[in-house]
Amino acid sequence: MNSILHQDANARVTLRDYDPTNFRLFALTRMQVDADKQKCLEALVGSVQGLGALARPEQLEPIADLIIQSMTGPWRSFHTPQHIFQVGEGGDEVEVISALFHDMVYVQVDGGINLNMMRSIAPFIREVDQQIILADDISLLADSAFKLSLSLFGFQLGQKLHPMAGQNEFLSALLAAKVLEGILPLSVIAQVVACIEATIPFRAPDASGKTCSDTLFESLRRVSQEHGFGWSDEETHALVRRAVRLSNRDVENFASEQATHFLDNTWNLIPETNHDLRRASHYTAKGYRVSLQKMEGFLNFLKAEAVFRQYGSEPSDEHFSLLLSRARRNLEIARLYLGMKLTSIAVLEALSLRIGREVSVSMMMGERPLEGQPSAGLESFLPPVEQPVASVGEVEEAVLTILEQGRTVASDYDVRNSPIATFMTKSVGFSVMRQLLVMARAFFKGEVSAEDFLASAPKTLIDSLVDAFVRLSDVRRESLLGN
């Protein structure tokens, strides 16, 4: 089915559809899934009982199953059970519950909404032309959970939801509110919804300087009045500080002490919305490039000030300054790293067009090496760079190190290091690579041809890559002949 609202109950794929050697889901053992469910159940039981509710473990077990089922969908590689456990780690009971629910609905990653989740939220949404719209039925406001969710998100009946403007967070919060009805008091459910609202990322202050946290404070105060919660302003400020604490943990990888850790998480995010990358032996040079382009374009416009938030004393000025400084450095390194990767894949894409229009990356570079199975790659036939062009500054040095030595963790669709980008950068230096990136962007837009783009690069560089590809082809020819 094409509908985003009607998916298979388990949202799973089969061995007929995908190659299990390249697919993360099949690397997850049944034991790991069971362990995640048990950990989730223990977190739920401890938090619910810590809030004074009388729910029994057997009452909460189906909820834990639903949470882990959603977080182990076939396309999940970053938004996994490990992520929600990390976001809740060190938090109070409301934070832990909010963390468990905050990423359950992720339409563009999962390709829809799991049927088991739809049972709880179907009355409140509809689908028109592949877009989710809130139901325009005033009688639904009699549902307290739905009404307070609307109020805390500032949404209206009949509103179109957008993936980058709170769609997934709202649906996850509404799901949490409906699932927790009868288990937790409405005042506590409102606090959970508020925490999930705060995880809508990358929101800068408006023209008047008003932040999303300021807006959340006003929404919480209004909800308190509408539902008779009786929160004082100081209590409401405390609720916002808690929500900010959770939202900062949700994006804490931006403040990783090591840039490689930040890039590891970035590489896990890329295939969640670029599903073709899951088939590592089949994706094309262009397909890989487009995936990198999306991430690079996003990071180029993202500012550290839009990543982390501060509300009153949460976090402290000193810690907030540290978060921002680390995020700025990680973003700077990631932008240059992605730029160098884009430049190298642009050259391979342009060369691949001499062969055909849908040439796979593995055709150009050789198969990804598997443990215990040696394979010849394009980098094996490149000449050594006898006199590398020196890097300038700490960021360039850091990027070259990551290109050469690799990210910390290997991904299912890519190797950790970047031998072609390393060879090119060492050969011509970052300055020339930046100039090539400008031409690469023009090539991507169709403003210059593939051959004109290649002609703009140093001839010795392109000749070395072409010679390496020819030699790799010769090895394949010999293998095919049985020599």
In tens digits, the chain (483 residues) has pLDDT values of 356 554 444 433 332 333 444 444 444 467 888 899 999 999 999 999 999 998 889 999 999 999 999 998 888 878 889 999 999 999 999 999 999 999 999 998 888 888 889 999 999 999 888 899 999 999 999 999 999 999 999 999 999 999 889 999 999 999 999 999 999 999 999 999 999 999 999 998 988 999 999 999 999 999 999 999 999 999 999 999 999 999 999 999 999 998 888 888 887 777 666 655 555 556 677 888 888 888 888 889 999 999 999 999 999 999 999 999 999 999 999 999 999 999 999 999 999 888 877 767 777 776 665 555 556 688 888 899 999 999 999 999 999 999 998 877 665 556 678 889 999 999 999 999 999 999 999 999 999 999 999 999 999 999 999 998 988 888 877 777 776
Task: Return the half-sphere exposure (C-beta side, CA atoms, 13 A cut-off) of residue 448.
Answer: 17
For residues 231 and 220, the answer to whether their CB atoms sit within 8 Å is yes
Residue 259 CA to residue 48 CA, distance in Å, equals 37
List the alpha helices (DSSP H) in 72-163: 81-88, 93-101, 107-110, 115-121, 144-153
φ and ψ at residue 282, rounded to 5 degrees: -120, -25
What element of type H or E holds 132?
strand 131-134
DSSP 107: H
* 123 Ramachandran zone, left/alpha/beta (phi>0; psi -120 to 50): alpha
Q: Helix 393-405 vs helix 317-352: angle between axes, to the nearest 10 degrees?
A: 60
CB atoms within 10 A of CB 422: 23
DSSP 134: E
Residue 236 in tokens: 């409401």
Q: b/e string for 158-187 if b means 16 or more Cβ within 10 A? A: ebebeeeebbbbbbbbbbbbbbbeebbebe
pTM of the predicted model as reported, rounded to 2 decimal places: 0.87
Burial class for 287, CB neighbours closer than 10 Å (0-12, 13-18, 19+): middle
Residue 367 CA to residue 373 CA, distance in Å, equals 10
Question: What's the angle, vertex CA 254, arms to CA 249 and CA 256, rounded to 5?
Answer: 90
* 3-class state of residue 9 by DSSP: coil
